[in-house]
Chain A
Amino acid sequence: MSHHRALQAETVKFRGHNGDHGEAYCARPIAAGKYPGIVVIHHLPGWDEWIIEVVRKLAHHGYAAISPHLYFREGSDSPDDIGARVRAAGGVADAQIMGDVAGAMAYLRAQPNATGKIGVIGFCSGGRHCYLAACTLSGIDAAVDCWGGNVIVDNPKDLNDKRPVAPIDLTVKLNCPLLGIFGNDDANPTADQVNRTEAVLKRLGKNYEFHRYNGAGHAFFNTSRDAYRPEQALDGWNKVFVFFGRHLAAAATTIAAE
């Protein structure tokens, strides 16, 4: 088990989709050594304080983590105001998100202390984006989908120019281990949708593991919400760190002893 209390944490510039220059929050251990990288994909409300805390948490556990501000093209206003404008515009196109995630991965690989291993984790709509990334981007060594909804799209009318393909239909292209974390009380994805996603993964012989939690709904890791479920979240985070530890070749860690 390795914990890193001394961190370098800062806002950095990275090149995203179409080579656009954007900002991202990056944290990594200060101690000399090489560290695997993890891209953190934020949810629709935006690049908020909790997602920044997640980046630092991952660094604390021995990873170079980066969360690209997926709405950086909207200017330098506060993240909540920018998130509101993006929502009103119908969100961001999947293709652009994938370009920004790929850019964040390239940023991590270019760091002198990178091992070259890259993981991706996303929450809520970011969980869906993580699933998409795992199916469409090359070079991902492990992916964690935390309660990403709309992976299954039952109504074709929910597909549009920005979200043209249901992620489940790309599962055949999944080429890295996938960890899924879900609350059984979640309305999106429902327990039935999670089961159907798992059935596709199983049928296609993919490397995956799903963990479902009773007494938890959506976003139960989020300490700033009433949805927070400390016991389930503690176990879920342990699952995340064991998974990343196994596939990104870092020392497997647990947070229970911290």
Chain B
Amino acid sequence: MCSYIVEKTALVGSAKGRKGWMRIDTANVYFDHPYYSTLDHVLAIDFTNEGRGGRDRVAVELSADSARALVARILAALASGEAAHGEPAQAADSAAAA
């Protein structure tokens, strides 16, 4: 059954969609029936720019296991990146947003 449950988070970043690169300010995250995947349920993320109307999106549909693995690798990449560059990743994000 479709759940209507969506976790929404503000973010700073860019994504490449069908019209090329765009700024994104929001991610809508949900675990529900997919549109494209053959899986019964997927962890879906829609990256959008709500400030510009939110009509364009970059979308992914992931299996639950691969989504969890991705979360772990994102955190690992942030940790190793911070160590390599000698700066907190969040500070780098803030600088990019400025």
For the A-B complex, the count of residue pairs with Cβ-Cβ distances under 8 Å equals 75
Is A44's beta carbon under 8 Å from chain B? yes
* B2 contact from A45, A48, A85, A88, Cβ within 8 A: A45
In the complex, A149 Cα to B5 Cα: how many Å?
14
Residues of A within 8 A of B56 (CB): 81
Mark the stretch among A134-142, A164-172, A220-228 that contacts chain B. A220-228
State how many angstroms separate the Cβ of B6 from the closest Cβ of chain A. 6
A interface list, Cβ under 8 A from B: 43-46, 48, 75, 77, 80-81, 83-85, 87-88, 90-91, 124-125, 128, 147-150, 186-189, 217-219, 224-227
Whether A225 pairs with B2 at a CB distance below 8 angstroms is no
In the complex, A83 Cα to B61 Cα: how many Å?
14
Whether A75 pairs with B55 at a CB distance below 8 angstroms is yes
Whether B6 pairs with A45 at a CB distance below 8 angstroms is no
Residues of B within 8 A of A148 (CB): 1
Q: Which residue of B lies closest to A150 (CB)?
A: B1
Is B65's beta carbon under 8 Å from chain A? no
Q: Which residue of B lies closest to A79 (CB)?
A: B35
Q: How many residues of B contact A (CB 8 A)?
A: 23
Whether B1 pairs with A149 at a CB distance below 8 angstroms is yes
Residues of A within 8 A of B32 (CB): 44-45, 87
Closest 8 CB pairs of A and B: A149-B1, A44-B2, A188-B1, A125-B2, A80-B35, A88-B28, A45-B35, A91-B4
Residues of B within 8 A of A187 (CB): 1
Whether A87 pairs with B1 at a CB distance below 8 angstroms is no
Which of B30, B38, B59: most chain A CB closer than 10 A? B38
Residues of B within 8 A of A46 (CB): 35
Whether A81 pairs with B57 at a CB distance below 8 angstroms is yes
Whether A44 pairs with B28 at a CB distance below 8 angstroms is no
State how many angstroms separate the Cβ of A146 from the closest Cβ of chain B. 11
> Given the known A-B contacts A43-B33, A45-B2, A125-B1, are A87 and B28 also in contact in the complex, defined by CB atoms under 8 Å?
yes
In the complex, A96 Cα to B59 Cα: how many Å?
27
Beyond contacts A87-B30, A217-B40: 11 other A-B pairs, Cβ-Cβ < 8 A, are: A77-B55, A84-B59, A87-B32, A124-B2, A125-B1, A188-B3, A218-B40, A219-B33, A219-B40, A224-B38, A225-B38
Whether A43 pairs with B39 at a CB distance below 8 angstroms is no
State how many angstroms separate the Cβ of B7 from the closest Cβ of chain A. 10
In the complex, A68 Cα to B12 Cα: how many Å?
37
Residues of A within 8 A of B48 (CB): 88
Is B25's beta carbon under 8 Å from chain A? no
Q: Which residue of A lies closest to B26 (CB)?
A: A88
State how many angstroms separate the Cβ of B53 from the closest Cβ of chain A. 10
Whether A218 pairs with B1 at a CB distance below 8 angstroms is yes
Residues of B within 8 A of A124 (CB): 1-2, 33
In the complex, A157 Cα to B22 Cα: how many Å?
37
